[in-house]
Homo-oligomer: A and B are copies of this chain.
Amino acid sequence: MYEHHGDRVTGLTVAYIGGGSRGWAWGFMTDIARDGQISGTVRLYDIDREAARRNKIIGEKISAHPDARSRWDYEVSDSLREALDGADFVVISILPATFREMRGDVHLPERVGVYQPVGDTVGPGGFMRAMRTIPMFVEIGEAIRDYAPDAWVINYTNPMTLCVRTLYEVFPGIRAFGCCHEVFGTQNLLTHMLAALGIAEGVRRQDLYTTVTGINHFTWLTRASWRGTDLMPLYAAFARDHAAEGFDDGGDRNWMNNSFACAHRVKFDLFLRYGAIAAAGDRHLAEFMPGWYTSSPEKVREWRFGLTSVDWREQDLQRRLKRSADLISGAEPITLEGSGEEGHLLIKALLGLGDMVSNVNLPNRGQIANLPSGAVVETNALFGFSRIEPVLAGPLPGSLLPLISRHVQNQENTLRAALSCDRKLGLAAFLNDPQMGRVSPEDGGKLFDDMLENQRDWLPEGWFR
């Protein structure tokens, strides 16, 4: 059990599921080392045990860095149970299956004219990724229920909404929430706008007050202000001015986001159509709409964002594997640059080390009045000692409601299909995705079967009986 010493907490136990992660894990290990208020042990669990072992070495190096303000111990756990037993916090950041399966998610639909910039959230790729990820989260949720029922659980894995939804389905009493930095990027865009308009330089995104609503990767700001300045009319003019050419905000320099940049043209177009600020990268936003922005690679270029190909991901992985080796060998020195994520801050708030408001993915208990109860939504919440209290975002505006609720209902059917290996319901959800709106049911049905087959090794047998 951890202990409070004034404004510090020692003896924390954090279970990191997917602890072999090359990237998220390093960011998290760095963030907690930079923080002077919390310390304890991180248990790394990964089905790739070797990756976890390597991360233990890296974590220890980070903790031992002279600038580190907290000391953390690192352990490798051999089982979920071993990782979870007695854990105070659980972080989940896994890659479901391999790039081979992801390649199918992203690229198989191209044969029917569906180009997906990411393919991990909605659309045919997101659906298929969910089919193999949901059973993994069933297992994780059951393990948490059995071995760490009181732990706080932070999920970073995509498809975010369905991962969190599955945890609550399996264990309704779980204290899980999902964190995502996509909203931060749009908040940063607003600060760049303030600078570009000559209103204020150097505003931090944390200084804005934004009303966040929607679902992960299709999140919206219905209100935004900085001190006494209403940003909505400013953004309206800004979106009109930059609709045609886009806006270059200098990008996010954080390693996690490179090559994921966009010129916000999709974002501006959505604002001009629907009157609210879409708050995610354009490559995510475009996937929630019909093929308006993605019907061909040329169309994507025209809208000035990128398709994150799996080829790129594989090369990127090679870079990160090399980086892992270099960090271990010392060829690359350890530095303590913060990740820009807020996970460690939320952990501190839950320990009573400072209340904060942040956007978070949680089951709807009324924070969005016109979405169904239980659907996982993303809104602001107040984080304090041992509780997360969502802030009411109000009902979704009429213009946004059909866009968002369509995905909410599809995702619920996606969950049901995954849990029961139901091809009929699965195909219904698959075809009802906006990106599939121009595909014939015959072509869509064939694609559905082939995409399931593509990941056969990772699916429950029930699908193939």
Q: Residues of A at under 8 Å CB distance from B? A: 4, 7, 9, 209, 211, 223, 225-230, 273-275, 290, 292, 295, 351-353, 355, 357, 365-367, 369-370, 372, 380, 382, 384-387, 389-394, 398-399, 401-403, 405-406, 409-410, 412-413, 416, 424-425, 427-429, 432, 434, 437-438, 440-441
Contact = CB atoms under 8 A, between A and B. Distances in A.
Contacts of A438: 290, 437-438
A401 B409 contact: yes
A174 to B, nearest CB: 16
A428 B7 CA distance: 40
A417 to B, nearest CB: 9
A146 to B, nearest CB: 22
Contacts of A295: 440
13 contacts: A225-B384, A230-B385, A273-B441, A292-B441, A366-B367, A366-B392, A391-B391, A398-B416, A399-B424, A402-B409, A405-B409, A434-B437, A437-B438
A312 B218 CA distance: 45
A365 B387 contact: no
Contacts of A226: 352
A389 B384 CA distance: 17
Closest 6 CB pairs of A and B: A437-B437, A366-B366, A228-B352, A438-B438, A225-B385, A402-B409
A124 to B, nearest CB: 15
Given A355-B209, A398-B416, A402-B406, A225 B386 contact: yes
* Secondary structure class of chain A's binding surface, majority of residues: mixed
Contacts of A389: 211, 380, 391-394
A227 B369 contact: no
Nearest to A416: B398
A395 to B, nearest CB: 8
Given A366-B367, A403-B432, 17 more contacts: A4-B229, A209-B352, A209-B384, A211-B387, A223-B386, A228-B385, A295-B440, A365-B366, A370-B372, A380-B389, A391-B391, A391-B392, A398-B416, A399-B424, A402-B429, A437-B437, A438-B438
Q: Which of A4, A226, A290 has the most CB of B within 10 A?
A: A290
Contacts of A227: 4, 7, 352-353, 385
B392 A365 contact: yes
Contact of A424 (B229, B273, B412, B429): B273
A231 to B, nearest CB: 9
A413 B394 CA distance: 18
B410 A392 contact: no
Given A365-B392, A366-B392, A405-B409, A4 B432 contact: no
Given A402-B432, A405-B405, A357 B382 contact: yes
Q: Which of A7, A366, A438 has the most CB of B within 10 A?
A: A366
Contacts of A434: 437
A402 B430 CA distance: 12
Nearest to A387: B223
A380 B392 CA distance: 11
A49 B272 CA distance: 46
B392 A367 contact: yes
A403 B409 CA distance: 9
A424 B275 contact: yes
Contact of A274 (B9, B273, B386, B428): B428
Contacts of A211: 387, 389
A391 B393 contact: no
B385 A437 contact: no
A217 to B, nearest CB: 18
A351 B230 CA distance: 10
A386 B366 CA distance: 22
Contacts of A399: 413, 424-425, 428
A343 B209 CA distance: 21
A226 to B, nearest CB: 8
Contacts of A427: 273
A401 to B, nearest CB: 5
B352 A225 contact: yes
A80 to B, nearest CB: 28
A390 B387 contact: no
B386 A230 contact: yes
A295 B441 CA distance: 12
